Amino acid sequence: MSIRFCLSAFAFLLMTMPNANTAKHTFVVKDDGFALDGKPFQIISGEMHYPRIPKEYWRDRMLKAKAMGLNTICTYVFWNVHEPKPGKFRFSDNADLAEFVRTAQKEGLWVIVRPGPFVCSEWEFGGYPAWLLKDPNLVVRSLDPKFTRYVERYMARLGKELKPLMISQGGPIIMAQVENEYGSYGHDHAYMAWSEKILIDSGFDCQLYTSDGASDAMLSGGTLPHLPATINFGGDAEGQFANLAKFRPNGPRMNAEFWCGWFDHWGSEHSTTSVEAHTKDLKWMLGKGYSVNFYMFHGGTNPGFMAGANWDGGYKPDTTNYDYDAPLNEAGEPTAKFESFRSAIAAHLGKKLPELPKPLPRIAIPAFELKPYADLEQAIVRKAKSEKPKSMEEMDQAFGYILYRKTVGPFEGELKIEGLCDYALVLANGKPLGELLRSGQTKLNVSLGEDTKLEILVHNLGRINFGHKLPAERKGILGGVFLGDVELLGWETSSIPCDSLKQIKHTGPVQSSCAFYRGAFDLKQTGDTYLDMSKWGIGAVWVNGRNIGRYWRIGAQQSLFLPATWLKKGKNEIVVLDLLGGTERMIEGVLDPVWSKD
């Protein structure tokens, strides 16, 4: 009898897990909840984003999700990752979204996708590709046909990747989100209806839904009457769901973004939130039978130049780390929140949860020296002359740096930049005069001799990813440069995108402290580490040719996470672009992140 019982239980387990070898499933809205194969199903999900985690670590993070009691993984889909150039699509390596979904299925997890095309997520331009901005008349996040034709092409291509993975096809994708928190942006229901249609036409054969804040204005602007309306919040669960009930008396109840942490801006302290308060809300939601998605379960890292920015009384760029004070930290290690949430979920489910996988190895790297390698001049990929400075978008440039040059002088007085986006280092004959910021100091007192070579190096710190300033978020100098009241005309604009270190032409000695520095270190064993950048200025770091992100002395982040998968036994090469002069050019790898308050 016991053998028959065990065989029956095993068969039922196989039927309910999202495994490629099982029959197709159904997932629908039923009463005030969801139903999987006709039976009530409570989603306990965690958000984690494939481009923010090394591909080799996807499975490790998913096993940890199961160990916390999650049954679902949720991810945004990032248009600018998949179509970096118009019509040139990329779904390989860390952009292999289909493999990310298949990995979740192999580990017995269901999947929710949020294809946007706008995703916010503290990600560069909210996920939109920067090349959309080259046409000054194109309006993103609207029914502008110049915009919608690009979205339709992209979604059709994305559908080819994901359609075979829909639950209707035997895959693990149970839900897909229509647009993203549109009620925080507008009230164009025709645009929302078009956004739904595009998903359907592209093969998203699963349960569609919307996601917004719980206020009446946000819900009325961002929902569609026939789709489940989910809500996003980080506290007062009972009050937030009461607001939803007033707007939508019937339907499933789900916190689609349970903000159990928060992100960081450059120049601020590292964000932390209350374990106890979040656990209390979690227990209340689970007890009510409501579904929940932890945002973030694991944040990871904003790779390369992909961190976005916000506008809150001024321009506030996001840091490279996306640690988010989440249950798993940036390196994928469990935190106090993980343990607290795990206990709450285990108690709710009334069962023992899977054990955590073994911790990944960490290493320290002894301090090593970097030496000047190349001037910025040697990294220029194209130049153009014009009366007024050209923007990055006019130069067909998405990220990195742009250099403006003009011979001026003599002059003594105020230099002013209008339309600076975002950080500028001003130099005269190669010597730094000072730094300027988009929100902050935009003027500088200068003393310039005759025939001075004036240079303004502008660093794109990330396009705004949320709010009404997003549609016109171009980079470089968008206005003019003035000496006193006189606007300077006749500029040479040079593009330095830093897409690849192979673009650097090492042709001679380094003449400026604003330069690339190169070094190497040897490893007998690889492991995760943090590069301590606290003694450097502002710039970016490449390890073995891979851009691991921006650093900036203003903090709070003072280190860069370097995963073992990007290292190798033997010699490893590092290149640092630093815009500010300094005497110490040493770096070491440490076991824990370095913050300003340390």
The residues carrying an active-site annotation are: 181, 257
CB count in 10 Å sphere of residue 4:
8
Alpha helices in 517-559 (DSSP H): none
Contacts of 63 (CB under 8 A, 6+ apart): 107, 354, 356, 357
Q: Alpha-carbon torsion 147, 148, 151, 157, what sign?
A: negative
Strand partners, 401: 459, 496
State the Cα–Cα distance between residues 93 and 519, nearest whole angstrom: 27
DSSP string, 151-190: HHHHHHHHHHHHGGGBGGGTSSEEEEESSSSGGGT---HH
Structure token pair of residue 512: 């400026």
Q: Is 107 helix (H, G, I), strand (E, B) or coil?
A: coil
Spatial CA neighbour of 575 closest among 554, 551, 546: 546
CB 288 within 8 A of CB 253: yes
Q: Is 338 helix (H, G, I), strand (E, B) or coil?
A: helix
Spatial CA neighbour of 292 closest among 328, 243, 258: 258
**Chain mean position to CA 271:** 16
State the Cα–Cα distance between residues 37 and 47, nearest whole angstrom: 24
Contacts of 502 (CB under 8 A, 6+ apart): none
**Reading across the β-sheet that carries 486-487, which strands appear in turn?**
443-448, 411-417, 481-483, 486-487
Structure token pair of residue 293: 């998605």
Structure token pair of residue 251: 């339907």
**β-strands 515-523, 371-375 pairing:** antiparallel
Q: Is 307 helix (H, G, I), strand (E, B) or coil?
A: strand
Q: Is 586 helix (H, G, I), strand (E, B) or coil?
A: strand
Q: Is 296 helix (H, G, I), strand (E, B) or coil?
A: coil
Helix 97-106 crosses helix 58-67 at what angle (to 10 degrees)? 40
Strand partners, 65: none
Strand partners, 559: 532
Question: Peptide bond before 228: cis, by omega within 30 degrees of 0?
Answer: no
